[in-house]
């Protein structure tokens, strides 16, 4: 087929439909969902072996390297590092060789009804790159290197040993109202004083910091980049700074610390996308102690998966346990850290593909989105078992979710969605409202799809929902806010991007975050690396602009984490 000339647009359309049918999933994806899942991977820069398949079309070493780079920048998030399938279908040679280069070129260029982006006609890839990728995915997939204790220790640094650190706080900062702000494309975080709105310091970190987490005591800040680099920051120092760091793999998203009484600050844990595993470390030095692989069987239909990525981790308040969520297998592991040499793990079958979530208002129940399954799993961390599986909207993405009292339904936890404009409110009070527990008790209509975070505060009557990935600039540059006591009224739209007073740029509004007092909400105004960004502070009671934080160092601000709220799971 390689040299065949297409007879016309009709033939191309027919082949597009055939390819779409061949690769069709049992659900539809919208463009926002797919592009979010297909984000770039730090593995693009890793040296890998070129596996020659004699049946595959020829590629030079340079072409193979270019194909690898494009694959990890565009495709690995959906199809997996080993191309065995994740939220997207498998692209291994046993499937791709049978289709041939021309068939695959059409698939890549025009996309498919199942959600494959039209990489060629959208202008993302040139015709030459489309041809390159059609040949690349017929080669044997290159395998990234593994990463064990030896590799971790080679990248482990204790900059200030525990015995040389302060014995008491040496600064005048109100640490409970300090914010750790991700400067995504700069590979940094900014520590911002929530009282003065001034930047305290900017610290070098890993690339595209995903989250910041607090130790149980509130002294240590743990920051993890997508390149799996962790920074341990001591907030007691005269000027808070990194005191230890480690690289725990090649790609990662999650870090957490031990919270159970008697284990405060004792351990930290990080989960990686590659290799598919998690590592438990000493909490005050990041010295790696125990690595556990997540490779194994999926939930029904019980198939082996070679790379279940660790998407999120939380620390239990009821037992010395970490809840580790393996994305592709849909398994939630309760890892007991009381005895690392005799590690005990309980496994809960939830649903594919586990992503992010948070606790209910009591801290007993953990709710986590299985985003590509359109479900939320509920774990009773006291009893150590699944409490419920809830069908929600399309591709839930709660961040940590939002807890509040619905006037008609009692205590609820809420999530927004990447794939539609709904906000699902799930009942979370089995003691007083058992008939409504672990069910969607109300659905709100939002501005649109593309939501990443939803937020409220125990002292607030407002519910804030962002939509930074919505394709409509008016929607992505604003925020929807609901009156919790009058949810049927619908949302008010606030033009946060306009309030920032910036020039050109995307100005996507992302992640509402409260201050400790619960009377201010902070929003990141996220533009490109070469454009001005800002943080906008809104008075929660009046919904009026309170402050705009601008600084040349605020490069691509995204996530913001208030120390007190993060330490105490307030959301």
pLDDT recorded at residue 78: 87
Residue 406 pLDDT > 50, yes or no? yes
Q: How many CA atoms lie within 13 A of 511 on its CB side?
A: 21
| Neighbour-count burial for 440-459, b at 16+ CB within 10 Å, e otherwise | bbbebebbbbbbbbbbbbee
User: Tokens standing for 239?
Assistant: 């000027």
Contacts of 457 (CB under 8 A, 6+ apart): 514, 518, 540, 565, 570, 571
Q: Give helix then strand counts, H and E, for the chain.
A: 11, 35
Buried b (16+ CB within 10 A) or exposed e, 23-39: beeeeebbbbbbbbbbe
pLDDT, one tens digit per residue, over 160-214 is 999 999 999 999 999 999 999 999 999 999 999 999 999 999 999 999 999 999 9
Six token digits for residue 93: 């040679």
Contacts 24+ apart (CB under 8 A), 11-17: 12/106, 12/110, 15/103, 15/106, 16/106, 16/107, 16/110, 16/111, 16/112, 17/113
Structure tokens, 437: 């527990």
Q: Which of 31, 74, 12, 102 is nearest to 394 (CA)?
A: 31
DSSP string, 302-318: --EES---EEEEEE-SS
Greater pLDDT, 285 or 73: 285
Residues 478, 479, 480: CA angle, nearest 5 degrees:
130
113 pLDDT higher than 90:
no
Helix (H) or strand (E) holding 53: none
Residues with catalytic roles: 75, 78-79, 116, 355, 397
Which secondary structure element, helix H or strand E, spans residue 286, and what is its range?
Answer: none
Give the other-Cβ count within 10 Å of 60's Cβ.
Answer: 9
Q: Which of 233, 225, 257 is nearest to 160 (CA)?
A: 233
**Which two tokens mark 313?**
């981790």
Q: Which of 81-90, 136-145, 181-190 has the lowest mean pLDDT?
A: 81-90
296, 282, 277: which is closest to 147 by C-alpha? 277
Task: Tell me the average pLDDT across 63-79.
Answer: 91
pLDDT at 22 over 50: no
pLDDT at 77: 85
Question: What confidence score (pLDDT) does residue 176 get?
Answer: 98
Examine the pLDDT at 350 and tell me if it is beyond 80: yes
Predicted pLDDT at 17? 46
What is the pLDDT averaged over residues 457-468? 98
Q: Is the pLDDT of residue 26 over 70?
A: no
Q: Tell me what the pLDDT averaged over the chain comes to.
A: 92
pLDDT digits (tens, 9 = 90+) for 359-402: 999 999 999 999 999 999 999 999 999 999 999 999 999 999 99
Percentage of the chain beyond pLDDT 70 is 92
- Report pTM: 0.91
Stretch 149-159: mean pLDDT: 98
What ranges make up the beta strands (E) of 226-297? 229-234, 241-247, 251-257, 267-274, 277-282, 288-293, 296-297
The residue among 73 and 485 whose pLDDT is bigger is 485
Integer Cα distance of 184 and 210 in angstroms: 8
């Amino acid at each position: 087929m390689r040299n065949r000339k297409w007879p016309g647009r009709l033939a191309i359309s027919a082949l597009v439909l055939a390819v779409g049918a061949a690769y069709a999933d049992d659900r539809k994806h919208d463009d926002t969902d797919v592009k979010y899942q297909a984000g770039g991977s730090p593995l693009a820069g890793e040296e890998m072996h070129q596996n020659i398949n004699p049946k595959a079309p020829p590629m030079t070493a340079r072409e193979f390297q270019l194909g690898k780079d494009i694959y990890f920048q565009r495709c690995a998030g959906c199809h997996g590092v080993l191309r065995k399938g994740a939220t997207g279908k498998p692209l291994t040679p046993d499937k791709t060789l049978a289709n041939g280069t021309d068939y695959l070129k059409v698939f890549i260029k025009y996309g498919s009804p199942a959600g494959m982006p039209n990489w060629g006609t959208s202008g993302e890839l040139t015709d030459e790159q489309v041809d390159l990728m059609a040949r690349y995915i017929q080669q044997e997939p290159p395998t990234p290197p593994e990463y064990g204790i030896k590799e971790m220790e080679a990248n482990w640094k204790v900059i200030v040993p525990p015995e040389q650190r302060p014995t008491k706080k040496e600064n005048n900062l109100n640490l409970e109202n300090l914010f750790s702000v991700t400067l995504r494309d700069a590979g940094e975080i900014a520590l911002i004083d929530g009282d003065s709105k001034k930047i305290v310091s900017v610290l070098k970190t890993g690339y595209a910091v995903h989250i910041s987490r607090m130790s149980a005591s509130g002294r240590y800040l743990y920051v993890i980049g997508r390149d799996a680099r962790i920074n341990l920051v001591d907030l007691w120092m005269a000027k808070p700074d990194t005191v230890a760091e480690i690289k725990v793999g090649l790609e990662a998203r999650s870090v957490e610390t031990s919270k159970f009484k008697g284990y405060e600050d004792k351990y930290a844990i990080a989960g990686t996308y590659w290799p598919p595993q998690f590592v438990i470390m000493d909490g005050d030095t990041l010295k790696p102690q125990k690595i556990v692989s997540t490779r194994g069987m999926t939930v029904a239909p019980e198939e082996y998966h070679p790379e279940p990525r660790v998407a999120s981790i939380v620390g239990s308040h009821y037992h010395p346990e970490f809840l580790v969520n393996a994305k592709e297998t849909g398994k939630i592991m309760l890892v007991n850290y009381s005895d690392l040499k005799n590690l005990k793990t309980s496994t809960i079958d939830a649903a594919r593909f586990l992503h992010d979530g948070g606790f209910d208002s009591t801290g007993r129940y953990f709710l986590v989105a299985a985003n590509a399954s359109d479900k939320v799993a509920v774990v009773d961390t006291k009893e150590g078992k699944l409490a419920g599986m809830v069908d929600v909207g399309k591709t839930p993405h709660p961040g940590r979710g939002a807890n509040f009292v619905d006037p008609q339904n009692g205590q609820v936890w809420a999530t927004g969605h990447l794939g539609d404009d709904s906000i699902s409110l799930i009942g979370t009070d089995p003691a007083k409202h058992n008939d409504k527990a672990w069910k969607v008790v109300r659905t709100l209509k939002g501005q649109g799809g593309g939501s990443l975070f939803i937020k409220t505060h125990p002292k607030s009557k407002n519910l804030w929902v962002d939509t930074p990935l919505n394709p409509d600039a008016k929607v992505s540059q604003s925020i929807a806010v609901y009156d919790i006591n009058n949810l049927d009224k619908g949302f008010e739209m606030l033009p946060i991007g306009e309030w920032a007073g910036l020039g050109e740029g995307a100005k996507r509004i992302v992640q509402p975050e409260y201050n400790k007092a619960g009377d201010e909400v902070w929003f990141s105004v996220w533009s490109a690396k070469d454009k001005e960004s800002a943080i906008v502070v809104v008075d929660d009671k009046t919904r009026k602009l309170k402050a705009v934080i601008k600084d040349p160092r605020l490069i691509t601000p995204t996530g913001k984490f208030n120390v007190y709220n993060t330490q105490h799971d307030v959301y």
